[in-house]
Amino acid sequence: MKRIVAMAAFLLSASQAVCGDAPKKSPVSKNWLDSLAIDGYFSGGVAINFALPYNKINFGHLDTDRANWPQFNQAILNVERPLDKKAADLDFGLAFIGMLGTDARYTQFLGQTEYLIHDRTQLSIVEANLQVHLPILTKGGVDITVGQFTSYNGFEMLTSKDNIFYTRSLSSNAGPFVDTGVMSIVHAADWLDLYAGIVTGVDTSIGWPGDNNNSPSIHAGFGLNLLDGDLSILAITHSGPENPNVKDPLLVGWPDGVIGGVPAACACNPNNAWTLYNNLTTTWNATEKLSFASDITYFRATGNNPVSIFGSIFDAFNALPNGFGFNTSLLPQHPRGANAYGIAQYATYKIDDSIKLGARVEFWRDAKNFFAAAYPGYFDSVNSEHGFPAPSVIVQPPGQGTSYLAITAGVTFSQKLTAFPLFSGLILRPEFRWESAVNDAAPFFGPNGPKRTQGLFSMDVIAPFTIR
């Protein structure tokens, strides 16, 4: 009997081979958790300011805002199961990034961990989301992310290890952000991706006090993938109402937050005044060793009136009967808005696996001195986003405007480590940076007051580790 069954199986396989219909091998099922990665890094550094600012502030910087003082920037824990973007079937992924360090002051989701630690070193969540790849609509399918994630604005990243330099560009202080919502990417063709999402707003979560107003924002754009992936262009916008409403659910309002029913921080209806963050980012791998990138930015806040340091408060008085006796005819009658725009150009050259050279030149215009600031207090940044009083925030005279020029040159040294089982290597990034106001403004600080220029030597050390 066994011989008969074996003979039948042989004849069947032979006939299928003759007919060109050979039996297919059963695909090997891959465990979903096999591609789960758990890794991270520790990073810290120092920014030595040759101008010796009396207040120890590197104006225009966020992560490297403290002059001549070492700081522990980031401890990152990354748990990720990335999507297989080439999958022909349904695929799932997840991402979680937690951050501990001084940089966490600027990556906070409102309403979560922003007041947990009363120190410059804080704890934050950068990403916590689920992802799904749907093989629908197009050959490439659709990728959907739900939860909390990083926006697609700009060339530089919130995770310092993924950047070329220790210091960040001036424009990158206004993006990328952390977002809560839904984001979709339609792979319309091999060369075209379409981005569309809806989020609660910049650095916000869901509900009060996590969302500082009652309106969502849109996050949309398109990406071009050309020259077999060596050239990519991403045009993206993050647009919507971002001004804080500064009112709790009972509409009581916070101290000094509301004047005559009008939020003092916004001469407008916070749910109608849009803030737009637009980026056009191009990356080009010219050769295997030489790469270029450019980030063109245009930002606009429609609901602000920085004509004077009291501009928005004056607008609030205009909303009151007779302006409490003030002659309001001389005061601004509506918000004038604020713009910022510029370009940051990058170049990198890889000498070998351990040495890479980098250069960055940036011109950036903050036309109303609205977007550039310094936040020396522990909670200055999140207080500003909430709409709470933040008197220690340092800004330039509203309405005048400052044009910045910043030139950075640096080296990245990467050294593999074999003596430590978890730590895979060590990265050092020394750099020189010179920046100046190219108009009559003096936004920086020296030992005795304002300065038009500042020069820095900065370096950080990054120790990556891998758990899985």
Q: What is the DSSP string of 379-435?
A: THHHHHHHT---TT-B-PPTTT-EEEEEEEEEEEEEEE-SS-SSB-EEEEEEEEEEE
Kindly tell me if the per-residue pLDDT of 9 is higher than 90: no
Average pLDDT of 401-418? 94
Kindly tell me if the per-residue pLDDT of 328 is higher than 90: no
pLDDT at 428: 97
| CA pair distance 442, 291, nearest whole angstrom | 34
Average pLDDT of 153-159? 96
Model confidence band, residue 62 (pLDDT cutoffs 50, 70, 90): very high
pLDDT at 68: 97
Kindly tell me if the per-residue pLDDT of 285 is higher than 60: yes
Task: Quick: pLDDT tens for 176-232.
Answer: 999 999 999 999 999 999 999 999 999 999 988 899 888 999 999 999 999 999 999
Kindly tell me if the per-residue pLDDT of 14 is higher than 50: no
262-263 and 258-259 as β-strands: parallel, antiparallel, unpaired? antiparallel
**Is the pLDDT higher at 332 or at 191?**
191
> Residue 49 is encoded by which pair of tokens?
């300011």
DSSP percent split of the chain into helix, strand, coil, nearest 5: 15, 45, 45
CB 407 within 8 A of CB 361: yes
Q: Of the given ranges (190-194, 273-277, 321-325), which has the lowest mean pLDDT?
A: 321-325
Question: pTM of the predicted model, to two decimals?
Answer: 0.84
| CA pair distance 392, 379, nearest whole angstrom | 10
Average pLDDT of 159-175? 95
pLDDT at 53: 96
Model confidence band, residue 334 (pLDDT cutoffs 50, 70, 90): low
| CA pair distance 294, 171, nearest whole angstrom | 12
Task: Quick: pLDDT tens for 80-104.
Answer: 999 887 777 899 999 999 999 999 9
pLDDT at 175: 85
pLDDT at 322: 47
> What pairs with residue 293 in β-bridges?
283, 346
Q: What is the percent of the chain where pLDDT is above 90?
A: 66
Greatest mean pLDDT range, 20-29, 92-101, 259-268: 92-101
pLDDT at 262: 43
pLDDT at 267: 60
Mean pLDDT of the chain: 85
Average pLDDT of 99-123? 96
Cβ atoms within 10 Å, residue 13: 12
Q: Of the given ranges (13-17, 28-32, 147-151, 163-167), which has the lowest mean pLDDT?
A: 13-17
**Is the pLDDT higher at 119 or at 399?**
119
Cβ atoms within 10 Å, residue 192: 15
Q: What is the percent of the chain where pLDDT is above 70?
A: 81
Average pLDDT of 117-145? 94
pLDDT at 248: 53
pLDDT at 260: 43
Q: Of the given ranges (65-74, 144-153, 389-398, 450-459), which has the lowest mean pLDDT?
A: 389-398
Model confidence band, residue 33 (pLDDT cutoffs 50, 70, 90): confident
Kindly tell me if the per-residue pLDDT of 351 is higher than 80: yes
CB 339 within 8 A of CB 351: no
CB 243 within 8 A of CB 273: yes
**Is the pLDDT higher at 136 or at 357?**
357
CATH code linked to domain 34-466: 2.40.160.10
pLDDT at 89: 86
Question: Which residue is associated with the tokens 């895979």?
Answer: 424
